Amino acid sequence: MNAETPVKINVCVEGSDDWLFGDLRRGFQRAKVKGVQVIASETPIQDADAWTFIRTDEAVASPDMRRSVVCIHDLYEHDDMYKPGQIRWRAAQAGGLVLCHPEQRRILQEAGIDLSGKAVLERPLGALHQFTVRNSAPRDSVRVGWVGREHPRKRTAWFAEAMKYLSARKTDVAALVIGKDLEPLCARIRSDGGVCKHFDRTHTDIHAYPALYQTLDCLVITSSTEAGPLPLFEALATGLPVVSTAVGWAPELAARAPEFVLLADDPNGIAAHLETIYDRRHDFFDARFEIASVVEAYRLDEWFVDVLELCARLARAWPS
Protein backbone atom coordinates (compact mmCIF):
# COMPACT_ATOMS: atom_id res chain seq x y z
CA MET A 1 0.00 0.00 0.00
CA ASN A 2 1.47 3.37 -1.00
CA ALA A 3 0.43 6.85 0.05
CA GLU A 4 -1.69 7.38 -3.08
CA THR A 5 -3.55 4.07 -3.00
CA PRO A 6 -6.93 4.27 -1.27
CA VAL A 7 -7.25 2.17 1.85
CA LYS A 8 -9.92 -0.45 1.17
CA ILE A 9 -12.07 -0.82 4.29
CA ASN A 10 -14.62 -3.59 4.40
CA VAL A 11 -17.65 -2.82 6.60
CA CYS A 12 -19.20 -6.14 7.58
CA VAL A 13 -22.65 -6.85 8.95
CA GLU A 14 -25.03 -9.70 8.26
CA GLY A 15 -28.68 -8.98 7.57
CA SER A 16 -28.35 -5.52 6.04
CA ASP A 17 -32.13 -4.99 6.33
CA ASP A 18 -31.84 -4.91 10.13
CA TRP A 19 -33.30 -1.57 11.19
CA LEU A 20 -30.30 -0.49 13.30
CA PHE A 21 -27.27 -2.27 11.91
CA GLY A 22 -28.52 -1.83 8.37
CA ASP A 23 -28.75 1.91 8.99
CA LEU A 24 -25.18 1.93 10.30
CA ARG A 25 -23.95 -0.01 7.28
CA ARG A 26 -25.55 2.51 4.93
CA GLY A 27 -24.12 5.36 7.00
CA PHE A 28 -20.61 3.99 6.54
CA GLN A 29 -21.23 3.74 2.81
CA ARG A 30 -22.24 7.40 2.66
CA ALA A 31 -19.32 8.64 4.76
CA LYS A 32 -16.53 10.43 2.93
CA VAL A 33 -12.98 10.04 4.21
CA LYS A 34 -10.03 11.12 2.10
CA GLY A 35 -7.92 8.19 0.98
CA VAL A 36 -10.51 5.60 2.05
CA GLN A 37 -12.68 3.31 -0.07
CA VAL A 38 -15.59 1.70 1.77
CA ILE A 39 -16.95 -1.65 0.65
CA ALA A 40 -19.91 -3.08 2.59
CA SER A 41 -20.74 -6.77 2.66
CA GLU A 42 -22.39 -9.41 4.81
CA THR A 43 -19.23 -11.48 5.08
CA PRO A 44 -15.59 -10.32 5.01
CA ILE A 45 -13.86 -9.57 1.73
CA GLN A 46 -10.50 -11.31 1.88
CA ASP A 47 -8.42 -8.71 0.02
CA ALA A 48 -9.52 -5.67 2.06
CA ASP A 49 -6.89 -3.60 3.87
CA ALA A 50 -8.95 -3.42 7.07
CA TRP A 51 -12.30 -4.55 8.40
CA THR A 52 -15.00 -3.02 10.57
CA PHE A 53 -17.43 -5.40 12.26
CA ILE A 54 -20.61 -3.60 13.29
CA ARG A 55 -21.82 -6.61 15.28
CA THR A 56 -19.31 -7.74 17.87
CA ASP A 57 -19.76 -11.49 17.44
CA GLU A 58 -19.31 -11.37 13.66
CA ALA A 59 -15.62 -10.56 14.10
CA VAL A 60 -15.06 -14.30 14.40
CA ALA A 61 -14.84 -14.30 10.58
CA SER A 62 -12.09 -11.67 10.34
CA PRO A 63 -9.18 -12.54 8.03
CA ASP A 64 -6.77 -10.51 10.20
CA MET A 65 -7.71 -9.25 13.66
CA ARG A 66 -4.74 -6.86 13.78
CA ARG A 67 -6.43 -4.84 11.04
CA SER A 68 -9.95 -5.28 12.39
CA VAL A 69 -12.08 -2.82 14.32
CA VAL A 70 -14.86 -4.32 16.41
CA CYS A 71 -17.85 -2.22 17.47
CA ILE A 72 -19.70 -2.85 20.74
CA HIS A 73 -23.20 -1.38 21.01
CA ASP A 74 -24.50 -2.79 24.31
CA LEU A 75 -23.70 -3.37 27.96
CA TYR A 76 -24.11 -7.15 27.94
CA GLU A 77 -21.72 -8.99 30.23
CA HIS A 78 -23.43 -12.32 30.94
CA ASP A 79 -22.28 -15.85 30.10
CA ASP A 80 -18.59 -14.88 29.90
CA MET A 81 -19.21 -13.92 26.26
CA TYR A 82 -15.75 -12.37 25.89
CA LYS A 83 -13.92 -15.44 27.19
CA PRO A 84 -11.95 -17.71 24.78
CA GLY A 85 -14.28 -19.80 22.66
CA GLN A 86 -17.38 -17.74 23.48
CA ILE A 87 -19.43 -15.63 21.09
CA ARG A 88 -17.34 -12.44 21.43
CA TRP A 89 -13.93 -13.92 22.17
CA ARG A 90 -12.22 -12.32 19.16
CA ALA A 91 -12.77 -8.84 20.57
CA ALA A 92 -9.71 -9.56 22.71
CA GLN A 93 -7.62 -9.94 19.55
CA ALA A 94 -8.93 -6.88 17.68
CA GLY A 95 -6.52 -4.15 16.70
CA GLY A 96 -9.21 -1.59 17.44
CA LEU A 97 -12.37 -1.37 19.51
CA VAL A 98 -15.22 1.10 19.27
CA LEU A 99 -16.96 1.69 22.59
CA CYS A 100 -20.11 3.78 22.85
CA HIS A 101 -20.35 3.92 26.65
CA PRO A 102 -17.67 4.21 29.38
CA GLU A 103 -19.11 1.23 31.25
CA GLN A 104 -18.01 -1.01 28.39
CA ARG A 105 -14.39 -0.43 29.38
CA ARG A 106 -15.07 -1.97 32.80
CA ILE A 107 -16.92 -4.91 31.24
CA LEU A 108 -14.01 -5.67 28.93
CA GLN A 109 -11.38 -5.31 31.61
CA GLU A 110 -13.29 -7.62 33.95
CA ALA A 111 -13.46 -10.10 31.08
CA GLY A 112 -9.66 -10.08 31.03
CA ILE A 113 -9.22 -7.97 27.88
CA ASP A 114 -6.15 -5.73 28.01
CA LEU A 115 -7.02 -2.43 26.34
CA SER A 116 -3.61 -0.82 26.77
CA GLY A 117 -2.27 -2.13 23.47
CA LYS A 118 -5.38 -1.45 21.41
CA ALA A 119 -6.63 1.52 19.45
CA VAL A 120 -9.84 2.48 21.25
CA LEU A 121 -12.48 4.94 20.08
CA GLU A 122 -14.79 5.78 22.96
CA ARG A 123 -17.77 8.08 22.34
CA PRO A 124 -21.54 7.89 21.92
CA LEU A 125 -22.84 7.55 18.40
CA GLY A 126 -25.05 10.63 18.59
CA ALA A 127 -27.69 11.82 16.15
CA LEU A 128 -27.38 12.39 12.42
CA HIS A 129 -27.05 16.02 11.32
CA GLN A 130 -30.51 15.63 9.80
CA PHE A 131 -31.94 15.96 13.31
CA THR A 132 -32.28 19.72 13.63
CA VAL A 133 -33.90 21.95 16.23
CA ARG A 134 -37.68 22.02 15.95
CA ASN A 135 -39.26 25.19 14.62
CA SER A 136 -43.00 24.70 15.15
CA ALA A 137 -44.50 25.96 18.40
CA PRO A 138 -46.54 23.47 20.48
CA ARG A 139 -50.14 22.90 19.51
CA ASP A 140 -53.07 22.64 21.90
CA SER A 141 -52.53 18.88 21.97
CA VAL A 142 -49.38 17.24 23.31
CA ARG A 143 -47.60 14.51 21.36
CA VAL A 144 -45.47 12.09 23.34
CA GLY A 145 -42.99 9.98 21.39
CA TRP A 146 -41.56 6.49 21.90
CA VAL A 147 -39.01 5.02 19.45
CA GLY A 148 -37.71 1.45 19.27
CA ARG A 149 -38.98 -2.11 18.97
CA GLU A 150 -40.94 -4.61 21.02
CA HIS A 151 -38.53 -6.42 23.34
CA PRO A 152 -38.59 -7.27 27.06
CA ARG A 153 -35.68 -4.89 27.68
CA LYS A 154 -37.60 -2.02 26.10
CA ARG A 155 -40.50 -2.30 28.60
CA THR A 156 -43.18 -0.91 26.30
CA ALA A 157 -45.79 -1.64 29.00
CA TRP A 158 -44.26 1.15 31.08
CA PHE A 159 -44.96 3.62 28.31
CA ALA A 160 -48.55 2.40 27.95
CA GLU A 161 -49.11 2.76 31.70
CA ALA A 162 -47.67 6.26 31.78
CA MET A 163 -49.82 7.32 28.83
CA LYS A 164 -52.92 5.88 30.50
CA TYR A 165 -52.23 7.99 33.58
CA LEU A 166 -51.52 11.15 31.59
CA SER A 167 -54.54 10.75 29.31
CA ALA A 168 -56.81 10.39 32.34
CA ARG A 169 -55.56 13.68 33.80
CA LYS A 170 -54.99 15.82 30.72
CA THR A 171 -56.98 16.40 27.56
CA ASP A 172 -55.63 16.39 24.01
CA VAL A 173 -52.78 13.94 24.56
CA ALA A 174 -51.51 11.57 21.87
CA ALA A 175 -48.76 8.98 21.65
CA LEU A 176 -46.64 8.68 18.54
CA VAL A 177 -44.67 5.43 18.37
CA ILE A 178 -41.99 4.78 15.77
CA GLY A 179 -40.35 1.43 15.21
CA LYS A 180 -40.70 -2.29 14.80
CA ASP A 181 -43.38 -4.67 16.10
CA LEU A 182 -45.22 -1.91 17.99
CA GLU A 183 -48.78 -2.74 16.93
CA PRO A 184 -49.55 -4.34 20.34
CA LEU A 185 -48.28 -1.24 22.16
CA CYS A 186 -50.45 1.06 20.09
CA ALA A 187 -53.45 -1.26 20.54
CA ARG A 188 -53.01 -1.23 24.32
CA ILE A 189 -52.83 2.57 24.46
CA ARG A 190 -56.03 2.76 22.43
CA SER A 191 -57.76 0.14 24.56
CA ASP A 192 -56.93 2.28 27.61
CA GLY A 193 -58.79 5.17 25.98
CA GLY A 194 -55.73 6.93 24.59
CA VAL A 195 -54.78 8.13 21.13
CA CYS A 196 -51.86 6.46 19.37
CA LYS A 197 -50.33 6.87 15.93
CA HIS A 198 -47.89 4.19 14.74
CA PHE A 199 -45.13 4.60 12.17
CA ASP A 200 -43.91 1.11 11.32
CA ARG A 201 -40.18 0.85 10.76
CA THR A 202 -40.83 -1.47 7.81
CA HIS A 203 -42.32 1.45 5.91
CA THR A 204 -40.55 4.34 7.64
CA ASP A 205 -36.92 4.93 6.72
CA ILE A 206 -34.49 6.51 9.21
CA HIS A 207 -34.42 9.61 7.03
CA ALA A 208 -38.12 10.14 7.79
CA TYR A 209 -37.41 10.21 11.52
CA PRO A 210 -36.25 13.84 11.84
CA ALA A 211 -39.54 15.18 10.48
CA LEU A 212 -41.48 12.93 12.88
CA TYR A 213 -39.41 14.11 15.86
CA GLN A 214 -40.25 17.69 14.81
CA THR A 215 -43.92 16.99 15.54
CA LEU A 216 -43.28 15.83 19.13
CA ASP A 217 -43.32 17.68 22.43
CA CYS A 218 -41.14 15.13 24.24
CA LEU A 219 -39.71 11.64 24.04
CA VAL A 220 -39.97 8.76 26.53
CA ILE A 221 -37.36 6.01 27.01
CA THR A 222 -38.36 3.03 29.15
CA SER A 223 -35.49 0.58 28.61
CA SER A 224 -33.92 -1.52 31.35
CA THR A 225 -30.50 -1.50 29.65
CA GLU A 226 -29.00 0.57 26.84
CA ALA A 227 -25.56 1.77 25.84
CA GLY A 228 -26.95 4.80 23.97
CA PRO A 229 -29.74 4.94 23.25
CA LEU A 230 -29.85 6.69 19.88
CA PRO A 231 -33.35 8.19 20.41
CA LEU A 232 -32.00 10.04 23.47
CA PHE A 233 -29.54 11.92 21.29
CA GLU A 234 -31.98 12.34 18.41
CA ALA A 235 -34.64 13.89 20.64
CA LEU A 236 -32.26 16.26 22.40
CA ALA A 237 -30.76 17.32 19.06
CA THR A 238 -34.32 18.20 18.00
CA GLY A 239 -34.70 20.36 21.11
CA LEU A 240 -37.09 17.98 22.88
CA PRO A 241 -37.11 17.21 26.60
CA VAL A 242 -36.63 13.51 27.36
CA VAL A 243 -38.13 11.39 30.13
CA SER A 244 -35.95 8.34 30.61
CA THR A 245 -35.08 5.49 32.87
CA ALA A 246 -31.49 5.63 34.12
CA VAL A 247 -29.96 3.78 31.17
CA GLY A 248 -26.99 4.45 28.90
CA TRP A 249 -26.06 8.09 28.66
CA ALA A 250 -29.27 9.36 30.26
CA PRO A 251 -27.79 9.72 33.80
CA GLU A 252 -24.72 11.56 32.45
CA LEU A 253 -26.83 13.95 30.35
CA ALA A 254 -29.30 14.40 33.21
CA ALA A 255 -26.41 15.45 35.43
CA ARG A 256 -25.48 18.09 32.86
CA ALA A 257 -29.03 19.24 32.16
CA PRO A 258 -31.46 17.92 34.79
CA GLU A 259 -34.22 20.23 33.59
CA PHE A 260 -34.18 18.67 30.11
CA VAL A 261 -33.35 15.01 30.79
CA LEU A 262 -35.82 13.83 33.42
CA LEU A 263 -35.06 10.48 35.05
CA ALA A 264 -37.75 8.12 36.33
CA ASP A 265 -37.71 4.72 38.04
CA ASP A 266 -41.19 3.47 37.12
CA PRO A 267 -44.31 4.29 35.07
CA ASN A 268 -45.65 6.59 37.79
CA GLY A 269 -42.45 8.62 37.72
CA ILE A 270 -42.59 8.82 33.94
CA ALA A 271 -46.21 9.98 34.09
CA ALA A 272 -45.39 12.69 36.66
CA HIS A 273 -42.66 14.08 34.40
CA LEU A 274 -45.00 13.97 31.41
CA GLU A 275 -47.55 15.99 33.35
CA THR A 276 -44.88 18.61 34.04
CA ILE A 277 -43.94 18.73 30.37
CA TYR A 278 -47.61 19.04 29.43
CA ASP A 279 -47.95 22.09 31.68
CA ARG A 280 -44.65 23.66 30.62
CA ARG A 281 -44.45 22.65 26.97
CA HIS A 282 -44.12 26.28 25.80
CA ASP A 283 -41.21 26.82 28.18
CA PHE A 284 -39.47 23.76 26.79
CA PHE A 285 -40.06 25.01 23.26
CA ASP A 286 -38.48 28.35 24.14
CA ALA A 287 -35.46 26.46 25.52
CA ARG A 288 -35.11 24.22 22.46
CA PHE A 289 -31.71 25.55 21.36
CA GLU A 290 -30.36 25.15 24.89
CA ILE A 291 -31.69 21.59 24.91
CA ALA A 292 -29.99 20.81 21.60
CA SER A 293 -26.68 22.21 22.86
CA VAL A 294 -26.48 19.36 25.41
CA VAL A 295 -25.59 16.89 22.62
CA GLU A 296 -24.13 19.18 19.96
CA ALA A 297 -20.70 17.53 20.33
CA TYR A 298 -22.08 14.10 19.38
CA ARG A 299 -23.12 13.49 15.82
CA LEU A 300 -23.44 10.12 14.12
CA ASP A 301 -22.02 11.51 10.86
CA GLU A 302 -18.71 12.18 12.62
CA TRP A 303 -18.81 8.77 14.33
CA PHE A 304 -18.71 7.05 10.93
CA VAL A 305 -15.68 9.13 9.96
CA ASP A 306 -13.90 8.45 13.26
CA VAL A 307 -14.37 4.69 12.90
CA LEU A 308 -13.14 4.66 9.30
CA GLU A 309 -10.10 6.74 10.19
CA LEU A 310 -9.31 4.28 12.98
CA CYS A 311 -9.52 1.43 10.46
CA ALA A 312 -7.23 3.27 8.06
CA ARG A 313 -4.61 3.75 10.78
CA LEU A 314 -4.60 0.02 11.50
CA ALA A 315 -4.32 -0.79 7.80
CA ARG A 316 -1.25 1.43 7.49
CA ALA A 317 0.28 0.09 10.69
CA TRP A 318 -0.15 -3.55 9.58
CA PRO A 319 0.07 -3.55 5.77
CA SER A 320 -1.00 -6.74 4.06
Would 15 be classed as within a structural domain? yes
Strand order in the sheet with 173-180: 196-200, 173-180, 142-149, 218-221, 242-244, 261-263
Q: How many CB atoms lie within 10 A of CB 35?
A: 12
Task: Assign residue 260 the CATH number of its domain.
Answer: 3.40.50.2000
**How high is the pLDDT of residue 78?**
78
Note whether 269 and 163 are same-domain residues. yes
Question: How many residues does this entry show for the chain?
Answer: 320
Tell whether 56 is covered by a domain.
Answer: yes
Question: What range does the domain containing 205 cover?
Answer: 142-293
pLDDT at 69: 98
- Count Cβ neighbours within 10 Å for each residue of 53-92 and write b for 16 or more, e otherwise: bbbbbbbeebebbebbbbbbbbbbeeeebbeeeebbbbbb
For residues 304 and 288, state if they share a domain. Answer: no
Question: How many independent structural domains does the chain possess?
Answer: 2
Domain match, 34 and 149 both: no
H or E element at residue 176? strand 173-180
Q: How far apart are the first and last CA of the chain?
A: 8
Residues 101 and 62 reside in one and the same domain: yes
- 134 in a domain, yes or no? no
In a domain, 289, yes or no: yes
Residues 116 and 146 occupy one common structural domain: no
Residues 192 and 271 in one domain: yes
Same domain, 313 and 230: no
pLDDT score, position 31: 97
Q: Please indicate, yes or no, whether residues 34 and 76 belong to a single structural domain of this protein.
A: yes
Residues 192 and 66 in one domain: no
- Which pLDDT value is given to residue 171? 87
* pLDDT reported for residue 303: 98
Q: Judge whether 239 lies within some domain.
A: yes
> Is residue 19, in this structure, part of any structural domain at all?
yes
User: Is 130 domain-assigned?
Assistant: no
Looking at the fold, whether 190 and 266 belong to one and the same domain comes out as yes
Residue 148 lies in a domain: yes
Same domain, 84 and 148: no
Q: Are residues 158 and 265 in the same domain?
A: yes
DSSP lists the bridge partners of residue 127 as 299
Binned average pLDDT, 10 residues per bin, the chain of 320 residues? 82 82 94 96 96 96 97 89 91 97 94 92 97 92 95 97 96 95 96 96 91 97 96 98 98 98 98 97 97 98 98 94
Q: What is the pTM of this model?
A: 0.95
Residue 70's CATH number: 3.40.50
pLDDT recorded at residue 148: 95
User: According to the model, what pLDDT value does residue 140 have?
Assistant: 81
- The pLDDT score that the predictor gives to residue 193 is 94
Q: Are 258 and 287 in contact (CB under 8 A)?
A: no
Listing from the earlier edge strand, what are the strands of the sheet with 36-41? 36-41, 7-12, 50-53, 68-72, 96-99, 119-122
What are the φ/ψ torsions at residue 282 (nearest 5 degrees)? -70, -35
Q: Distance between CA 320 and CA 311 in Å, rounded?
A: 13
Beta bridge partners of 147: 178
